[in-house]
């Protein structure tokens, strides 16, 4: 039995919500924007592309007015690199700068703190054509892009996120199309890309601190606790290996400026050690994040895996399904319910994850994504009864509070997503937002905005600073 009242959420807690540029903006080729890898990616024919998305580019004022009505204290969005630099580098597109200036000013007008992701999966296609992250020149392009962002928006943006889910881009590079499946050793290419991203991220953190002494910057991977499928020692070991590869590699590099030893040995076995140039590790060491942002959807359950043929797990089967003969294999967790898209729901796992990250790095934590994708139904009278989403978020917020009580320094919670947007792989029908966007996969209808039941619920949560989580 608890014998003391739970610690409250801090007074300045960043109650927020998230989106990303290619998923929400649309206007994919307007006002000088260059194509990104997401614009040219192949789509399964049953889902829409990102060309119009939620048309936020043209409706940002209306959207931000709704975010203000919701009571958001923070809005986490990403800047489209190819809107600023259509070619990835070189000439700046002034109209791109203007758009984000307007967006940031509009947020400020409503007292909403902008939390900016500098790069969220949408590498400029012009850079991809030159080798993307495999090419070291992309590091310079990213640093130059970072400098441009700091120069133009640094007077108003205090929170910066370097790279969204670098770990997902590497772990699922073959699915996300960032690596050629037919390469001689795709893993070697992926971990070379990964190393270049580490250096780029470190350079951006160093630059941010030099240019903007009051700003805060951090990485934004997808982190989750990893459970062993059984107490059998081999399963526990496999879970540990997987967690190093999925989680700690990324945060050890960002925070301590070093490679995780378990991962290094794995890379040796896979002949996938990246080429590290003189000075790279010194740059990683010099860079220090001010906080850790992370996305959390669920945990992973893993067991030992004997050498055998790999089955082709898809991300949608289980958000982080993964297997590696001789190392580990993902399993469903029989204790957890699933969303209609098969993603396991594990609120307690969020508390475990928060504790694990905090104990390891002792930095303030910001949750930048957490949410439930579902096929919401617009009912008569413009009503969306998304009680399942309320239930999901309520249980996760409860665990945030318990983690705060455990001593974790949690500074904010930004669920995915502020408004309906196009899912990375499964179209617009897989909705996450507090605000419904009236369109279907291929019928744009009127794109009108309709607050869902979860909107009114979250508004009450924010107004009560997390004290009132009831759904009535
Ligand atoms: C995260 C990404 O991986 O998960 C988002 O940062 C993404 O871009 C979100 O949309 C949900 O995944 P999905 O595949 O359901 O869109």
Q: Higher pLDDT residue, 472 or 225? A: 225
What is the arithmetic mean of pLDDT over 26-33? 98
In terms of Cα–Cα distance, which of 330, 471, 441, 351 is closest to 50? 441
What is the arithmetic mean of pLDDT over 252-271? 97
Closest residue by Cα to atom 5, ligand 1, is 424
Q: How many A from CA of 360 to the centre of ligand 1?
A: 26
Closest residue by Cα to atom 15, ligand 1, is 423
In terms of Cα–Cα distance, which of 79, 15, 19 is closest to 418? 19
The best mutation among 416, 427, 433 to test binding of ligand 1, ranked by most ligand atoms within 8 Å of the C-beta, falls on 416
pLDDT band at 310 (very low <50, low <70, confident <90, very high): very low
Q: What are phi and psi of 228, to 5 degrees?
A: -75, 145
**Cα–Cα distance, 76 to 78 (Å, whole number):** 7
DSSP string for 401-421: HHHHHTT--EEEE--B-SS--
Pair 12, 466: CB distance under 8 Å: no
- How remote is the C-alpha of 114 from its chain's centroid? 16
Helix (H) or strand (E) holding 213: none
**Cα–Cα distance, 470 to 472 (Å, whole number):** 6
Atom of ligand 1 nearest to the CA of 316: 14
Q: Is the pLDDT of residue 307 over 80?
A: no
Atom of ligand 1 nearest to the CA of 373: 15
Closest residue by Cα to atom 14, ligand 1, is 424
What is the arithmetic mean of pLDDT over 85-98? 98
DSSP letter assigned to residue 383: B
pLDDT, one tens digit per residue, over 195-234 is 999 999 999 999 999 999 999 999 999 999 999 999 999 9
Q: How many A from CA of 22 to the centre of ligand 1?
A: 11
Closest residue by Cα to atom 8, ligand 1, is 424
Question: What's the Cα-to-Cα distance from 153 to each of 34, 246, 336, rounded to whole Å?
Answer: 20, 32, 43
DSSP string for 158-205: -EEEEEETHHHHHHTHHHHTSS-TTSSSHHHHHHHHHHHHHHHHHHHH
Q: Is the pLDDT of residue 308 over 90?
A: no
Q: How many A from CA of 265 to the centre of ligand 1?
A: 30
What is the arithmetic mean of pLDDT over 128-148? 97
Question: What share of the chain in percent tops pLDDT 70?
Answer: 95
**Cα–Cα distance, 29 to 35 (Å, whole number):** 7
pLDDT, one tens digit per residue, over 329-373 is 999 999 999 999 999 999 999 999 999 999 999 999 999 999 999
Contacts of 202 (CB under 8 A, 6+ apart): 254, 257, 283, 284, 286, 287
Q: How many A from CA of 297 to the centre of ligand 1?
A: 9
For the chain, the first-to-last Cα distance in angstroms comes to: 27
What pLDDT score does 353 carry?
A: 98
Three-state secondary-structure class, residue 68: helix
Instruction: Output Rg (C-alpha) for the chain, integer angstroms.
Output: 21
The best mutation among 177, 421, 424, 433 to test binding of ligand 1, ranked by most ligand atoms within 8 Å of the C-beta, falls on 424
Three-state secondary-structure class, residue 249: helix
What is the arithmetic mean of pLDDT over 81-92? 98
Atom of ligand 1 nearest to the CA of 422: 16
What is the arithmetic mean of pLDDT over 319-323? 63
What pLDDT score does 150 carry?
A: 98
β-strand 216-220 against 226-228: which pairing, if any? unpaired
What is the arithmetic mean of pLDDT over 126-149? 97
Pair 455, 389: CB distance under 8 Å: no
β-strand 328-331 against 113-117: which pairing, if any? unpaired
Q: How many A from CA of 424 to the centre of ligand 1?
A: 5
What is the arithmetic mean of pLDDT over 314-338? 77
Query: What rounded mean pLDDT belongs to the chain?
Result: 94
Pair 41, 47: CB distance under 8 Å: no
Contacts of 346 (CB under 8 A, 6+ apart): 298, 299, 333, 336
**Cα–Cα distance, 118 to 122 (Å, whole number):** 10
Say how many CA atoms lie within 13 Å of 306 toward its Cβ.
Answer: 0
Atom of ligand 1 nearest to the CA of 343: 15
Q: How many CB atoms lie within 10 A of CB 367?
A: 28
What pLDDT score does 69 carry?
A: 98
Q: Is the pLDDT of residue 315 over 50?
A: no
What pLDDT score does 449 carry?
A: 98
Q: Which residue numbers are catalytic?
A: 165, 369
Q: How many CB atoms lie within 10 A of CB 464?
A: 12
pLDDT band at 4 (very low <50, low <70, confident <90, very high): confident
137-153 and 94-109 helices, crossing angle to 10°:
50
Q: Is the pLDDT of residue 408 over 50?
A: yes
Q: How many CB atoms lie within 10 A of CB 81?
A: 27
Q: Is the pLDDT of residue 466 over 70?
A: yes
Cis-peptide, bond into residue 417, ω within 30° of zero: yes
pLDDT band at 317 (very low <50, low <70, confident <90, very high): very low
Q: How many A from CA of 423 to the centre of ligand 1?
A: 6
Using a 6 Å CB cutoff, which residues line ligand 1? 20, 23, 164-165, 168, 222, 295, 369, 373, 416, 423-426, 430
pTM: 0.96
The best mutation among 169, 317, 369, 417 to test binding of ligand 1, ranked by most ligand atoms within 8 Å of the C-beta, falls on 369
What pLDDT score does 318 carry?
A: 45
- Residue 362: left if φ>0, alpha if ψ -120 to 50, beta else—which one? left
Structural domains in the chain, sorted by start: 14-225+287-298+344-463 (3.20.20.80)
């Amino acid at each position: 039995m608890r014998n003391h009242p739970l610690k409250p959420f801090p007074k300045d807690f960043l109650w927020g919500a998230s989106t990303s540029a290619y998923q929400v903006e649309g206007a994919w080729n307007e006002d000088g924007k260059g194509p990104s890898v997401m614009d040219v990616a192949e789509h399964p024919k049953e889902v829409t592309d990102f060309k119009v998305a939620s048309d936020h580019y043209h409706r940002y004022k209306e959207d931000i007015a709704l975010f203000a009505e919701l009571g958001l204290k923070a809005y986490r969005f990403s800047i489209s690199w190819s809107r600023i630099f259509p070619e990835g580098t070189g000439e700046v597109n002034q109209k791109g700068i203007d758009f984000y200036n307007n967006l940031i000013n509009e947020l400020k007008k409503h007292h909403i703190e902008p939390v900016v992701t500098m790069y969220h999966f949408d590498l400029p296609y012009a850079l991809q054509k030159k080798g993307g992250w495999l090419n070291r020149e992309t590091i310079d392009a990213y640093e130059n892009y970072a400098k441009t962002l700091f120069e133009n928006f640094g007077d108003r943006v205090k929170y910066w996120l370097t790279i969204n889910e670098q770990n997902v881009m590497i772990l699922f590079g073959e699915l996300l199309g960032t690596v050629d499946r037919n390469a001689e050793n795709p893993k070697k290419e992926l971990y070379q890309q990964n190393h270049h991203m580490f250096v780029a991220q470190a350079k951006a953190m160093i630059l941010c601190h030099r240019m903007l002494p009051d700003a805060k910057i951090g990485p934004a991977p997808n982190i989750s606790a990893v459970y062993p499928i059984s107490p059998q020692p081999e399963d526990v070991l496999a879970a540990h290996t997987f967690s190093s590869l999925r989680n700690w590699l990324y945060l050890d590099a960002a925070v301590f400026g070093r490679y995780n030893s378990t991962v290094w040995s794995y890379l040796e076995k896979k002949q996938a050690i990246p080429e590290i140039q003189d000075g790279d590790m010194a740059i990683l060491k010099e860079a220090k994040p001010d906080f850790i942002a992370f996305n959390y959807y669920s945990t992973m359950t893993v067991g030992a895996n004997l050498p055998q043929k790999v089955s082709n797990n898809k991300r949608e089967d289980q958000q982080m399904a993964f297997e590696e003969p001789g190392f580990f294999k993902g399993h469903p967790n029989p204790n957890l319910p699933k969303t209609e898209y098969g993603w396991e729901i594990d609120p307690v796992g969020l508390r475990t994850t928060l504790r694990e990250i905090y104990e390891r790095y002792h930095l303030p934590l910001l949750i930048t994504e957490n949410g439930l994708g579902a096929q919401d139904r617009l009912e008569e009278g413009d009503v969306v009864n998304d009680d399942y989403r309320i239930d999901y978020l309520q249980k996760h917020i409860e665990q945030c509070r318990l983690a705060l009580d455990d001593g974790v320094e949690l500074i904010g919670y930004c669920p995915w997503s502020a408004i309906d947007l196009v899912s990375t792989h499964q179209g617009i029908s897989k909705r996450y937002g507090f605000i419904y966007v009236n369109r279907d996969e291929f019928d744009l209808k009127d794109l009108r905005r309709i607050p869902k039941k979860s909107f009114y619920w979250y508004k009450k949560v924010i107004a009560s600073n997390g004290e009132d989580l009831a759904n009535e």
